[in-house]
Structure 1
Amino acid sequence: MPAATWDPQQYLRHADHRSRPFVDLLARVPELPAAGRPPRIADLGCGPGNTTRLLTDRWPTAHVTGFDNSPAMLARADELAGPTAGGGRLDFAPADASTWTPPPGTYDLILSNATLQWVPGHSDSFPAWIEALAPGGTFAFQVPGNFDAPSHVLMRELAASPRWHDRLGHVLRHADAVLSPGSYLAQLADLGCEVDAWETTYQHLLTGEAPVLDWVKGTGLRPVLTTLADDEAATETFLTEYGTLLRKAYPPTAHGTVFPFRRVFAVARRGDA
């Protein structure tokens, strides 16, 4: 699967809905180790930084670093960088979640919001990330669990159709992009962590002419848009065909378009020893 290019402005069009799982995840993160120093926090896959800065509200003295592999996202996030009101600091740096391995004991909290689904075999990195936590530190993440929802199934089916197969048949993720809550719980518990794992299906109420298409243009559809970036006509044709399928799958109601979205969460606290 080729690397996708990102559009911060498109991504932020649904910022309120996209931020909700981050807030729900953050609410389950326990207090960080009392080490007599400001906490060190990493946000892996920080995107445009709009949710990363919420970490400085919870831990105002912390040094928070957001990591991302998208130059466009980091450029947008850098607008938020600098000292925080509580005496901490917020900064951003390039990193790829597939290879990121900080030194042992570096962080009190490693958090990742809607990123690991882009990293094949991401749970293989869990041992190194847990090792990078100080004793009593926490690793917390959430990933979309909607790869069998119409939005993704229709996207994959269209990309695999005879018209598009040669160009798009290999670019999209499949249902095994993430694990079940139980699988994450077992893997993290095997690493000696106290684990809280769960799933939630949000019922997002979207508005606009083609709101589900507008949503996926900011996230799941990025590999398609990246692959077709040099062919405007093909891009418009694919979007028209896909948009028609989405309107049938997610018909508008009197109150807007309901977009169910399942997400998987895990919070793992490393032992004190």
Structure 2
Amino acid sequence: MHSWDPDRYLTYADERGRPFVELLSRVGAQEPATVVDLGCGPGNLTALLVERWPGAGVVGLDSSAEMVAQAQETTPAVEFRVADLRDWAHAGGERVDVLVSNATLQWVPDHLDLLPALLGRVRPGGWLAFQVPGNFGEPSHTIRTDLAAEAPYAAALAEHAPQVPASHDPAVYLQALQGLGCEVDAWETTYLHVLHGEDPVFTWVSGTGARPTLQALPDDLRPRFEAELKRRLRAAYPERPGGVVLPFRRIFVVAHVGSDGLA
């Protein structure tokens, strides 16, 4: 398993946080008693849940001990725990009013099959809201995949295959959640992030999608891989007046459970 670096992840905190704010704007909960953030990361966005619903008990869960440690330090008003969201979904127990997951489900294999269990943790009249990247066909991802398939990296990575994120189109989530009896709002947005600094696209991907690959490489190959990845990313995302433009597609889903519960 790879580990997460909160500081690297927060390099583009504003850009990563904007989808979370737009997701929350479509959640119609008025005075929820309990709100859970699945995959809370370093907790900077979980703090927005406290601002939105100050009377709620807010809990943040993340499988990364590094992220939870950072979250506990920066957002003491929230209860944070180290937990795998799959275990939490299947554990049963008290249901919640609002269940939020931001840029996390793409790391869960077959997460479409997990939706019934997640909804099972939501009270009648409650809300499930999540956002996942939808840019896995873009050069920011395909360049890394292609490079990892080349010698000498392919042989090294075959021994410790890195985790690869994936997601579905909005219509797939909409159909799945409607089939479970929810009222669903699903949409997508492509942001044009203007990045600055040295190799900014590498800085972005090395904090998220590329991190498992980089950590899976042996120490003697990683610097060479990073140098070539940076070179190819610079060619795909050239510096222009004003900065480097990174198009980023995001997929949003908000599901409202009826007052009578699921169908």
TM-score using structure 2 length: 0.94
1:104 and 1:131 in contact (8 A); partners too: no
Equivalence for 1:93: 81
1:156 and 1:172 in contact (8 A); partners too: no
Matched, 1:185 2:174: yes
Query: Which stretch shows the higher mean deviation, 258-267 or 128-137?
Result: 128-137
Matched, 1:168 2:166: no
- Rounded to whole Å, the distance in 1 between the matches of 2:71 and 2:137 is 31
Superposed, which structure 2 residues align to 1:232-271 within 5 Å?
Answer: 233-271=220-258
2:153 and 2:221 in contact (8 A); partners too: no
Equivalence for 1:224: 213
Equivalence for 1:58: 52
Equivalence for 1:44: 38
3-state SS, counterpart of residue 198 of structure 1: strand
CA offsets per residue over residues 177-226 of structure 1, 9 Å max, x none? 21110000000001110000001000000001100001111101111222
Deviation at 1:100, TM superposition (A): 2.2
Q: Determine which of 28, 31, 40 is the counterpart of 2:29.
A: 31
Deviation at 1:97, TM superposition (A): 2.2
Residues 238 and 148 (structure 1 numbering): CA distance in 2 closer, same or farther, change over 3 Å? same
Superposed, which structure 2 residues align to 1:150-169 within 5 Å?
Answer: 150-169=139-158
Equivalence for 2:204: 215
Amino acid at match of 1:24: E
Deviation at 1:168, TM superposition (A): 2.4
Equivalence for 1:127: 116
Amino acid at match of 1:30: G
1:44 and 1:97 in contact (8 A); partners too: yes
Pairwise CA RMSD: 1.4
Overall identity of the aligned pairs, in %: 49
Equivalence for 1:20: 18
Amino acid at match of 2:229: Y
Q: Determine which of 202, 223, 237 is the counterpart of 2:191.
A: 202
Q: Which runs of 4+ in 1 moved over 3 A?
A: 80-83
3-state SS, counterpart of residue 254 of structure 1: coil
2:195 and 2:246 in contact (8 A); partners too: yes
- Rounded to whole Å, the distance in 1 between the matches of 2:95 and 2:120 is 9
- Rounded to whole Å, the distance in 2 between the matches of 1:53 and 1:116 is 20
Aligned residue-pair number: 257
1:143 and 1:178 in contact (8 A); partners too: yes
Q: Which blocks of at least 5 consecutive residues in structure 2 are unaligned?
A: none
TM-score using structure 1 length: 0.90
- Rounded to whole Å, the distance in 2 between the matches of 1:98 and 1:252 is 41
CA offsets per residue over residues 205-254 of structure 1, 9 Å max, x none? 000110000111110111122213x51x4221111000000000000101
3-state SS, counterpart of residue 85 of structure 2: coil
2:133 and 2:249 in contact (8 A); partners too: yes
Deviation at 1:162, TM superposition (A): 2.2
Amino acid at match of 1:146: N
Q: Determine which of 67, 73, 76 is the counterpart of 2:70.
A: 76
- Rounded to whole Å, the distance in 1 between the matches of 2:163 and 2:63 is 19
